Amino acid sequence: MRFTQRIVTLLKSLNPDSYAKLCSEMKLGDVIKQFLFTYIILFALMLILLVSAAFVGAPALQQKLASFDSFTLGGNFSASAPVTLLTHPKVTINLQENATLDGSTVAFTKQGISWKRWLLFGSASRPWSSLTDVKTAGNGVYLALLVFLVPSIAFWAGLGFFALSAILVLLFGLLAWLVPRLWRVRLSVANAYKIAIFASTVMMAVQLLLFPFWRSWWLGPLLYALFLAIGVALVGEREYALHERKKARRKDSALRGRKL
């Protein structure tokens, strides 16, 4: 499938009424490839927005650091309580001696900045350079810090969102196959997972594109469940109607055979 066709399919995935046609036109293997393509495109857009958010967030970071009694980039700073700059991913200020990441993605310590590497294991750190007190420094200092942290934040956020999306697709695909049977609606396993993948587009869009500016754990899954329910209802109903028509044709053929 061409790039432009993939983009068109991505956009169609935002309309549950198109799921029936997409399910009939695409094989499950190609739909899985579409899931990976959709995630890559949305992740790339998230990176662009994340860099833009760094420019917007520089003044906000300056306000956060205003809670410190003193804070110099030489490692001489103090505060009455720890400060968390970001929650997802976790970016913290740790004032303890010989502090480590301790569950954080990025940690500001007396020694410098520590962060998780782009790979799954290990961490890296960089000591403070002899700059001026950041409480009196311009936004350029904060901007430099934010841009410096963007690759690490983007990688771990992207990895976490991908794992969450894949798990939810597997779970919701199973539910999309089992639940309709309670109402005697026939839906094949392949179509159930196709719908689960198409419906996940709206969730990934909300999670990734809003991540640099606003984060919510419930909005993406809620929209996902809504789109999935609509898609299952539409595709399941059409599959049921098709099944009944085939059943009626078989009966007609059987009656004609008896007459002959």
Kindly provide the b/e burial profile for residues 19-37, where b requires at least 16 CB atoms within 10 angstroms of the residue's own CB.
Answer: bbebbeebeeeebeebbeb
3-state helix/strand/coil string of 183-201: HCCCCCHHHHHHHHHHHHH
Q: What does the block give as tokens for 236?
A: 């399941």
Pick the residue with more confidence: 98 or 88?
A: 98
| Whether the predicted pLDDT of 138 surpasses 50 | no
Pick the residue with more confidence: 3 or 248?
A: 3
Residue 219 lies in a domain: yes
Side chain identity at 221, as an amino acid letter? P
Pick the residue with more confidence: 9 or 69?
A: 9
Residue 39 lies in a domain: yes
Residue 97 lies in a domain: no
| Whether the predicted pLDDT of 10 surpasses 80 | yes
Q: Model's pTM, two decimal places? A: 0.66
Residue 28 lies in a domain: yes
Domain tally for the chain?
1
| Stretch 54-76: mean pLDDT | 54
Residue 44 lies in a domain: yes
**Least confident interval from 10-14, 131-135, 201-205:** 131-135
Q: How many CA atoms lie within 13 A of 145 on its CB side?
A: 26
| Whether the predicted pLDDT of 72 surpasses 90 | no
| Whether the predicted pLDDT of 59 surpasses 70 | no
Q: pLDDT category, 229, cuts 50, 70, 90?
A: very high
Q: pLDDT category, 89, cuts 50, 70, 90?
A: low
3-state helix/strand/coil string of 5-68: HHHHHHHHCCCHHHHHHHHHHCCHHHHHHHHHHHHHHHHHHHHHHHHHHHHHHHHHHHHHHHHC
Of the candidates 92, 88, 91, the residue with the CA atom closest to the CA atom of residue 216: 88
**Least confident interval from 19-33, 150-164, 233-247:** 233-247
Residue 229 lies in a domain: yes
Domain that holds residue 35: 3-53+149-256
Residue 140 lies in a domain: no
Residue 157 lies in a domain: yes
